[in-house]
């Protein structure tokens, strides 16, 4: 069966809530029924076929073509299947996602992976602020799953995250891993100011020393962290793309903090060395 494909007919003027376009929601529906599904467009409601041309049958595998940053809530609450987007997406990509895979070949708006508790989001482009972060008033950000960004990320990556892994292969903004409760953030390029500000637990793994580390982090010196071996080996086993971690050894400069909260988190600054060392 061919993938169920939604091609945007023209760039929407207003934000478009595409949260109904998930494998869970479209499973078992006929093409005609899918075309008549209502979508919230600005202040109005429109049918899917007013904005998208739709073809294909396999709702387990959905494609959105010619996407743009007006498309909000892409893959909201999905639990299975795959969602591939060619083009940019707006805010709240994969919000409350529990399973499955979302792949964006483009850039993402803010709060990608907000309230996520499983599955995987791949952003083959840049993401703006609050990746995996919680909304104001939320106790937690993402609670499980994996977000992989090949480009850059904005500020406050993983804000208040509870569990899960965020990998940023490009640059990260300020306050990366702010207020995290637990979980793992890996940033493989430059990082802005004050990573881990207010973190309770969790690990922020940086390939480069950040612009500034808060005074509330205490250096533990260079340590051989066996956990890094485990993490990188497991990630490489998950996806060949993560073989990129093979060049990092287990030795890292460890900072524990944020001591202003309870100091049980850590910032690990990786060192490229011989793994056999």
Partner 1 sequence: MKINGVLIDDTFAEAFPMKATRIIITAMNLKWAHRAANAIRGFASSVIACGIEADIERELKPSETPDGRPGVSVMIFAMSVKELEKHIPTRVGQSVMTTATTACFSGLDSDKKVSMGKSLRFFGDGFQISKVVNGKRFWRIPVMHGEFICEDTIGVRKAVGGGNFLVLAKTARQGLTACEKAVDAIKKVPGVITAFPGGVVGSGSKVGSKYDFLTASTNEAYCPTLKGQVKSELGVDIGSVLEIVIDGLDEESIREAMRVGIRAACKFGPKKGIYRISAGNYGGNLGPHLFYLRKLLK
Pairing mode of beta strands 3-8, 16-17: unpaired
The pair of three-digit structure tokens given for residue 161, joined into one six-digit string:
């995250």
Q: What share of the chain is helix, strand, coil (3-state, %, to 5)?
A: 10, 35, 55
Q: Is 30 exposed, middle or buried (0-12, 13-18, 19+ CB in 10 A)?
A: exposed
Which DSSP category does 94 fall into? Answer: T
> Which residue, 30 or 226, is less far from partner 1 as judged by CB?
226
Interface positions, 154-213, toward partner 1 (CB under 8 A): 163-165, 182, 184, 201, 203
Number of other CB atoms surrounding residue 79 within 10 Å: 15
Number of other CB atoms surrounding residue 220 within 10 Å: 14
> Which residue, 238 or 272, is less far from partner 1 as judged by CB?
238
> Which residue, 160 or 163, is less far from partner 1 as judged by CB?
163
> Which residue, 35 or 229, is less far from partner 1 as judged by CB?
229
Residue 202: name the closest of 161, 167, 172, 231 by CA.
161
Interface positions, 54-73, toward partner 1 (CB under 8 A): none
**Cα–Cα dist 108/131, whole Å:** 9
Q: How far is the CB of 137 from partner 1 (least distance, A)?
A: 25
**Cα–Cα dist 34/140, whole Å:** 34
Interface positions, 83-142, toward partner 1 (CB under 8 A): none
Can residue 272 be called a binding residue for partner 1 (CB under 8 A)? Answer: no
Can residue 259 be called a binding residue for partner 1 (CB under 8 A)? Answer: no
Q: How far is the CB of 138 from partner 1 (least distance, A)?
A: 20
Site string for partner 1, 204-243 (x = CB under 8 A): -------------------xxxxx-xxxxxxx-xx-----
> Which residue, 227 or 253, is less far from partner 1 as judged by CB?
227
Q: How far is the CB of 239 from partner 1 (least distance, A)?
A: 10
Can residue 275 be called a binding residue for partner 1 (CB under 8 A)? Answer: yes
Compute the chain's Rg from CA coordinates. 20
Q: How far is the CB of 190 from partner 1 (least distance, A)?
A: 25
> Which residue, 81 or 154, is less far from partner 1 as judged by CB?
81
Pairing mode of beta strands 44-47, 38-41: antiparallel
Judged by the rule CB under 8 A, the positions of this chain that interact with partner 1 are: 144, 163-165, 182, 184, 201, 203, 223-227, 229-235, 237-238, 264, 275
């Amino acid at each position: 069966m061919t993938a169920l494909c939604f091609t945007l007919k023209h760039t929407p003027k207003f934000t478009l809530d595409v949260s109904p376009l998930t494998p869970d929601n479209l499973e078992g529906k006929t093409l005609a029924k899918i075309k008549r599904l209502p979508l919230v467009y600005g202040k109005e409601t429109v049918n899917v076929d007013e904005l998208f041309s739709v073809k294909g049958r396999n709702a387990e595998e959905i494609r959105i073509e010619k996407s743009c940053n007006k498309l909000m809530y892409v893959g909201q609450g999905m639990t299975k299947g795959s969602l591939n987007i060619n083009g940019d997406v707006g805010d709240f990509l994969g919000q409350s996602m529990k399973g499955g895979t979302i792949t964006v070949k483009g850039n993402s708006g803010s709060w990608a992976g907000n309230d996520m508790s499983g599955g995987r989001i791949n952003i083959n482009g840049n993401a703006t602020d609050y990746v995996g972060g919680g909304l104001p008033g939320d106790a937690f950000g993402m609670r499980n799953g994996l977000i992989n960004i090949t480009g850059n990320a904005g500020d406050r990556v993983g804000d208040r995250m509870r569990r899960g892994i965020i990998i940023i292969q490009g640059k990260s903004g300020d306050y990366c891993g702010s207020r995290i409760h637990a979980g793992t953030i890996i940033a493989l390029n430059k990082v802005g100011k004050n990573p881990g500000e207010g973190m309770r637990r969790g690990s922020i793994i940086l390939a480069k020393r950040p612009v500034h580390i808060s005074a509330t982090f205490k250096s533990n010196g260079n340590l051989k962290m066996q956990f890094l071996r485990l993490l990188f080996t497991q990630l490489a086993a998950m996806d060949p793309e993560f073989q990129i971690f093979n060049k990092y050894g287990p030795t890292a400069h460890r900072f524990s903090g944020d001591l202003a909260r309870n100091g049980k988190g850590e910032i690990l600054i990786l060192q490229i060395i011989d793994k056999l060392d």
